[in-house]
Amino acid sequence: MSRMFLRTLRDDPADAEVPSHKLLVRAGYIRRVAPGIYSWLPLGLRVLAKVEAIVREEMEAMGAQEVRFPALLPREPYDVTNRWTEYGPNLFRLSDRKGNDMLLGPTHEEMFSLLVKDLYSSYKDLPLSLFQIQTKYRDEARPRAGILRGREFIMKDSYSFDIDDAGLEVAYQAHRDAYIRIFDRLGFEYVIVAADSGAMGGSASEEFLAVSETGEDTFVRSAGGYAANVEAVTTIPPAPIDHTGLPASRPVETPGTPTIDSLVSHLNDAFARDDRPWTAADTLKNVLVMLRHPDGTREPLVIGVPGDREVDAKRLETQVSPAEVEPFEDKDFAANPALVKGYIGPVLMAPGSGAVLGAESSSGIRYLTDPRVVDGTSWVTGANVQGSHVIGLVAGRDFTPDGTIEAAEVRAGDPAPDGSGPLSLARGIEMGHIFQLGRKYAEALGLQVLDHNGKLVTVTMGSYGVGISRAVAAVAEYAHDDLGLAWPAALAPFDVHVVVAGKDQTILDAGSQLYDDLRGAGLDVLIDDRPGKVSPGVKFKDAELIGVPITVVVGRGIVDGSVELKLRASGEREDVDVADIVQSVVDTVRGSGAS
């Protein structure tokens, strides 16, 4: 440590909110360059290398072969699949000196497909799985939490190539098993959840989420074994209701009721029901958003949800991807006079007028409703007139949406879509994603091989990612306490940290002897040999902050032939005879499962 390139910091970085970010910066593992862009310092690089090694080992064990593509890529392949456009503002685009468009790869389906197309031509060449561990670039809208969501980050991505669906299923399962081994070894609590296949197209898809309060993903679980990212949860729609005999809808004056709460209390004051009070669930809330399509065009969209539910931003984003969601602003209201802020509804309740939203609308604005808004359900909703609502507007009779959208929030207690019981919610960090891509990319790029009848068939693909740099942060989210980081043995930058606590020559000599002996035993050793003006107290604090699993303190006890062995995570400590210390450390390291 007297020569190591390291400065630990006393204070948290000003922009840091989550523990991993604070501690990785304070303990000298990473250093910020720009938002979402970080440098790796010697300590951090060692942890990163360990994550990489675990992932590489397990990928090779399942038979995948490593390659490495450039990060700097030409535009053409991404034009063929339309991702040059579809990736929208998340793609880093640039041009070379001749004016050719280039990009920094956000993910590499195109390049892998073309490489296999280039070299392979027969079913006999398949199955094949290739992987790389490489830097990816995405101009994320909200880079966050240090390396947890970066704009430059390291990913392991792999791709499987098969002649048929059965082959893809086998490759998918093999990846799934490998991921289980990887995440078991990385040592955090994780769940495997059904994922939305989203913009990538394709079918079966699962995510590996590290269970963590600081995660950006919300997932649901049922006691009966259902688990999914909220983005993938589907609603069981109620059965349609026969609406013959339902009273006609009637417009009512509801001045000053632009919110659901104000509307419900006004309904109960002025239009009390006989059977029960009005509740928010009786109202149909129409939420306006502006979609920005990848080609830059903007489109207003109205989403109708039961008034007791909010629109979930992430579920909505998933549904409309690759379009992005922007707020609907006052200037947008001005441009769409049919929409009256606070009183929006599918029908204009005025003489001689009709549908404002939905299939038969005059405004041309798309109207999508929650799946619970089935034919025959009756709602209180906006009348498109300032200060007015309509009571008893019946879906399928008085209005017809353009379709349904799974954008309403999922709540604890909602039924699991597979009937396995009520859902509970928790948060997680997406660590890995496995995905049956199918033939979408192979088709677009013409990746075909001859089958055993000599006929050309399109290859089917899987795509599989692990966030390597994100894993360093995700482990740190678990492996820390108030004093600092506390790495599991498998990822720690060093096996053991020797603290030389004292200025006496005997102590210094014993310290460096111990350093040599531990290294001789094949261990990675960090020694705090900083000179006497760095007090033992400062050294202990730094050792706690850096978080190597085992510390050996060489101090005054050395005159009696004893040193102290401390375990960072549990805080356990014991005095050990200096003659036995190397063996003790070796046993502790072995016992912890690190190699």
Question: Which stretches of the chain bind ligand ATP, using CB under 6 A?
Answer: 107, 138, 140, 149-150, 153, 155, 430-433, 465, 467, 469-470
DSSP labels, 395-447:
BTTTB--SEE---BPP-TTPBPTTSS-BEEEEEEEEEEEEEEEETHHHHHHT-
Encoded tokens for 578:
């200096």
Secondary structure class of 25 (helix, strand, coil): helix
CA distance 334 to 299: 14
> Is the Cβ of residue 81 or residue 400 nearer to ligand ATP in the bound state?
81
Secondary structure class of 14 (helix, strand, coil): coil
The strand pairing partners of 267, in sequence order, are: none
Q: What kind and span of H or E run contains 558?
A: none
Encoded tokens for 377:
């359900």
How many alpha carbons lie under 13 Å from residue 465 in its C-beta half-sphere? 21
Closest CA to 332 of 388, 394, 289, 292: 289
Give min distance, CB of 469 to ligand ATP, in A: 6
Q: What share of the chain is helix, strand, coil (3-state, %, to 5)?
A: 30, 30, 40
DSSP 8-state symbol, 329: -
Q: Which value, to the nearest 10 degrees, does the dihedral of the CA atoms of residues 105, 107, 113, 119 take?
A: 60
> Residue 184's CB: how many other CB atoms inside 10 A?
12
| Torsion region of 503: left, alpha or beta (phi above 0 gives left; psi -120 to 50 gives alpha) | alpha
> Is the Cβ of residue 144 or residue 372 nearer to ligand ATP in the bound state?
144
Give min distance, CB of 424 to ligand ATP, in A: 21
The distance of Cα 76 from the centroid of its chain, to the nearest Å, equals: 29
Give min distance, CB of 425 to ligand ATP, in A: 17
Q: Please enumerate in sequence order all residues whose Cβ is within 8 A of that of 335, keeping only pairs 6 or more positions apart, or say none.
A: none
CA distance 381 to 278: 13
> Is the Cβ of residue 196 or residue 495 nearer to ligand ATP in the bound state?
196
> Is the Cβ of residue 264 or residue 468 nearer to ligand ATP in the bound state?
468
Give min distance, CB of 106 to ligand ATP, in A: 8
> Is the Cβ of residue 294 or residue 432 nearer to ligand ATP in the bound state?
432
> Is the Cβ of residue 136 or residue 266 nearer to ligand ATP in the bound state?
136
Give min distance, CB of 321 to ligand ATP, in A: 10
Give min distance, CB of 137 to ligand ATP, in A: 9
Give min distance, CB of 232 to ligand ATP, in A: 12
Give min distance, CB of 445 to ligand ATP, in A: 19
> Is the Cβ of residue 55 or residue 525 nearer to ligand ATP in the bound state?
55
Q: Are 196 and 176 in contact (CB under 8 A)?
A: no
> Is the Cβ of residue 184 or residue 574 nearer to ligand ATP in the bound state?
184
Give min distance, CB of 228 to ligand ATP, in A: 14
CA distance 327 to 291: 9
> Is the Cβ of residue 140 or residue 575 nearer to ligand ATP in the bound state?
140
CA distance 26 to 41: 12
Q: What kind and span of H or E run contains 553?
A: strand 550-554
Give min distance, CB of 199 to ligand ATP, in A: 9
Give min distance, CB of 140 to ligand ATP, in A: 5
Q: Are 417 and 234 in contact (CB under 8 A)?
A: yes
> Is the Cβ of residue 363 or residue 469 nearer to ligand ATP in the bound state?
469
Encoded tokens for 472:
């360093």
Give min distance, CB of 220 to ligand ATP, in A: 16
Instruction: Give the pairing type, strands 378-382 and 217-222.
Output: unpaired
Closest residue to bound ligand ATP by CB:
467
Encoded tokens for 90:
């998340």
> Is the Cβ of residue 428 or residue 511 nearer to ligand ATP in the bound state?
428
> Is the Cβ of residue 106 or residue 555 nearer to ligand ATP in the bound state?
106
